[in-house]
A and B are shown apart, each in its own frame.
Chain A
Amino acid sequence: MKSPTNTRLRRLVVTTGVALTALVLSACGGSRPDGGGEADPGVTDSTVKVGAHFPLTGVAAPGYSEIPTGAKAYFDFVNANGGVHGRKIEYLVRDDAYDPTKTSTVTNELVLKDEIFAMVGGLGTPTHGAVVDFLNDEGVPDLFVSSGSLQWGEDPEKLPWTFGWQTDYESEGKVIGKYVKENMPDAKVGLFLQDDDFGEDGEKGLRQSLDDQIVEVQKYTSGNTDVAPQVSALQSSGADLVIGFNTPSYTALTQLTALKLGYKPKWFYSNVGSDATLVGGLLARFSEGAVKSGSSSLDGVLTTKYLDTVDDADNAWIKLWQKVWEQEGDGKPLSNYRVYGMAQAYTFVQALQAAGKDLTRQGIVDAIEEEGGDFSGPVLAPFAYSSDSHMGTTGMRVVSLKGATTVPETEVEVTEIGDNPVELDDSDAGKDEPPSSGIPE
C-alpha cells in the first residue's frame, strides 16, 4: 500500500512546483496595460462590428427570433452596395433565450471577446435591463433597444450611451386613450396588463385621458397561462372595451378564455401583442385546433402601429423591404418582425453615416443626439433624439385588424412622455419615401 501513496504524493509535489514556477515566471512577464488612445474597439478602416442579444430559442423565440434575420438581410444589402463610409457592417447575434442571466453572459461575450463597437437592437425589458448598466459602465453605445420601456431614454444623464427606438408604452397608452375618449366616450373600459414596466407605463398613459372611464384593472404574470380569473373579473365588472398591454401569447389566451366564458367586449391590444398572423397561429395551437388557424380570428380588433406592415403591399418602404428580403433573405416569407429588424437596421445605417468617416463611440452618440431628431425613415413619426432625450419614435396611428391586413382608423399622432398632449403629426415623417438606392443618403 505504500508505493501508490508515495507516487501520488510525488506527482502532486512536482505539479505544485511546476505551477508555482510558472506563476513566478508569468508574474515577471506581467506588464501594465497601455493607455489605449487608438481606434475604438470593433472599428477598422474596412469593417464595423456590432452585436445584439435576441431570444433565438425558448418561449419568446416565435416571432422575435425573426427580427435579427431582417436586420442581417438589410446589413448584407448595404454591404453589397459598398457599406457605410467604406466600412462593411459585421452583425453578430447571440441567443439569450429571454433569460436575463444569459443576456448578461452573451453581452459579456460580445463586449469582451468579440469586442463589438456597439450593441444594436438588444431585445426585451427584463433582459436588456440586466446589461444596460454594464454597457454604460464600459462606454459601449447601446443603440435602439427593442423594447418600449421608458427607462432607455428618459434620463440620458443616467444612461448616456443608451437609446430607445420604438414608441414607448406610455406614449402608446396616451394615443390609445385619446382615441377611445373621442370615439367611444361611453365605453366602460377594462384593462388587462402585464405586471411589469410594460403594463405600468401603458396604464400611466391611458389614465391621462381615461381615468374616469376605467372600471376594472387586471394584471397577469408572464408565465402563468391561466387567465380565466382575470377575464371573468373583467366580464363581471361590465367592461365593454378591454385594452390589453400584453404579449402575443396572452392575446391568444385572452381571446380563447373570453370565447369559453361567452364574453364579447370590443378588444384593443397594444402594438406588441397584435401581430395577427402570429396570434392566429398561437390560437390554433392553444385551442388544439378548435379555433381555425389563420389571421381572421382577430377581425375588428383595434391596435396601433408605428411602422408600415407587410400587408401595405403598395407602400414604398414595404416594396424596398421586399426587394432586400428577396436579395438577401433566407427564402421564407417576409414578416412584420423582419420588417422591424430591417427598419431598425436602416436607422443604425443613418446613425453610422451621421457619425462620419472617423467613427468613434462618442462620435456616434453625439451624432444621434444632434441629427437623430431629423432622421427620415420607415417609422411613421419622427424620433425624439436630442441631448435631453434618448426616447425613440414619438407617435403611432390607431388601426383595426381585418384578416392579415390593417385598416387605418386615425392619422399618425405624436406625443412625448409626461403631460404633453397628443397631437396630429405635422412633420410628414410618415409620408417620406425611401431613397431609390434603398440606402440612406
Chain B
Amino acid sequence: MQRFLRRIWDSTLGRHLLIAALGVAVVILVVESVSDFRNVQLASMAYLGLAAGGLTILTGLNGQISLGHGALMAIGAYTSALMLQGAEPVLPLLAIVVVATLVTLLVGTVVGVAAARLHGPYLAGATLALAIAVPGIALFFSERLGGEAGLRVRMPEIPVWVLDAAYFVTGSELTRSRYISYLAWFTLILGFVLLANLSRGRVGRRWRAVRDDEVAAELAGINLGRARISAFMVSAAAAGAAGALMAFAVRLAAPSGFTLTLSLTLLAAVVLGGLGSLTGALLGAALLTFLPDVASNVGRDAGLTDIQAAQLAPLVYGLVMIAVILLAPLGIVGSLQSIAARRRARTRRTSTTSAAPTGAVTTSKGEAR
C-alpha cells in the first residue's frame, strides 16, 4: 500500500490526482457542514480562484501581464447567460460551462495573437482596452444583451440524478446554493489539475524559459510567439469557465459586474497569494471573498454605523494589500515557501554534512517577482 502510494506520488499526474481527490473530499465536507450563505460565498471564492489561477499561469509562468481578464470572464458569463434564457436550458449546466470556456478560448486566441507582439506597459495597455471595451459591447447591442440592466440567468432545476446522487453520498437534501457551490468547486479542481499538469510539463517549461530569457529560449528552439499565445489561450479558457460559474452564482451577467475593478481584483488576488502559485491564487481569492465581509461585520459589531462599516471594507483591503507588499513581497504562499525552504536548508545543514542546495523553488519565485 505504502509503496503503491509512493509510486503515485512520484509521478506528476498521480500526485495531482491524489491532491485533487483530497480536495474533493474536503470540498464535500466543507460544503455539507456550512450554511447556505457560506456556500454562496464559497462559490464566489471558487470562480474568483479559477480565474486567478488562469491569470497566475499567464503572469507568473509566462511573464505576460493582463488587465483584461475581467473582460474574458464577461465573455464566459454572457455566453452562458445567453444559453440560460428560456424556461428549459439549451444544454446541461456542465456542457454550458464547456461551451463558455471554448468561446472564451476563441476570443483569448485572437487577443493572444495580438498580445504576443507586445511587451510590458504596451501589453498592459492593450488588455486594459479590452477590459474597457467588452462591457461596452453589451451596452451597444442592448436589444440582444440587455444593456445596462444585463441578462438575467434562469437557473434550471437541479437534475433528479444529481439530487439522488447527493442524497446517497451525503444523506441530506441538496439545496440550490450547495449545488452551485459543488459545481463551482469541482470545476475549479478539474481546472487546477489541468493547469498544474500543464505548468509541470513541457509546455510549462517552455513558458518559463520564454519568461526568463527570450534570446536563450529562442536559441533552444522555442517559438516565442507560439508559447505566448498558448499561455494566453489557457489563461483565457480558465477565465471563461470562471465567468460561466459567476453567471450561475450571481444569476446575472451585467456590464457593471465586469468593470476594470474585476480585472484588477483578479490581479490583486494573484499578487496577494503569490505569483505563479495556484495555491496562492486560491488563497488570494479567499481573502478577497471573505475579508470585506469580515471587516464590515467587525465594524458593525464595534458599533459603527452601516455607512462607516461599509467604508471599512475597502480600507482594510487596502491595508492588507500594503502590508503584504511590504512584509511579504513574494505573496503569502511565496513567502511561506521561502521560509520553509530556508528552514529545511538549516536543518539539513545541522543534521548532515552534505547540505543540498534548496532547489529550484526559491530561484523561480525570486524571478517571478
Contacts and interface: CB of A to CB of B under 8 A. Distances in A.
Q: Do A and B come from one complex?
A: yes
A116 to B, nearest CB: 12
A57 interface: yes
B26 A19 contact: yes
A286 interface: no
Q: In which size bucket is the chain A interface?
A: 35 or more
Interface stretch (B31-39, B190-198, B225-233, B360-368): B31-39
B307 A65 contact: yes
Contact of A130 (B252, B307, B310): B252
Given A26-B29, A57-B311, A99-B256, A112 B150 contact: no
A23 B37 contact: no
A101 B29 contact: no
Contact of B173 (A1, A32, A133): A32
Contacts of B29: 19, 22-23, 26
Interface residues of B, number: 55
B28 A30 contact: no
A10 to B, nearest CB: 9
Interface string B174-212: 000100000000000000000000000000000000000
Interface stretch (B86-94, B141-149, B273-281, B324-332): B141-149
Interface in B15-41: 18-19, 21-22, 25-26, 28-29, 32-33, 35-38, 40-41
Interface in A4-29: 4-6, 9, 12-13, 15-16, 19-20, 22-23, 26-29
Nearest to A197: B149
Contacts of A109: 37, 40, 293
B252 A221 contact: no
A68 interface: yes
A59 to B, nearest CB: 11
B356 interface: yes
Given A30-B32, A195-B147, A101 B18 contact: no
B223 interface: no
B164 interface: no
B40 A105 contact: yes
B310 A100 contact: no
B171 A31 contact: yes
A168 to B, nearest CB: 16
Contact of B311 (A56, A104, A112, A197): A56
B349 interface: no
Interface of A: 1, 4-6, 9, 12-13, 15-16, 19-20, 22-23, 26-33, 56-57, 65, 68-69, 72, 93-95, 98-101, 104-105, 108-109, 112-113, 125-126, 129-130, 133-134, 195-197, 221-222, 330
Given A56-B310, A195-B139, 11 more contacts: A15-B22, A23-B25, A23-B29, A26-B32, A32-B172, A56-B311, A69-B307, A100-B257, A105-B41, A112-B35, A113-B36
5 contacts: A15-B22, A27-B171, A130-B250, A196-B149, A221-B139
Interface of B: 5-6, 9-10, 18-19, 21-22, 25-26, 28-29, 32-33, 35-38, 40-41, 44, 139, 142, 147-150, 152, 154, 169-173, 177, 246, 249-252, 254, 256-257, 259, 293, 296, 305-307, 310-311, 313-314, 344, 356
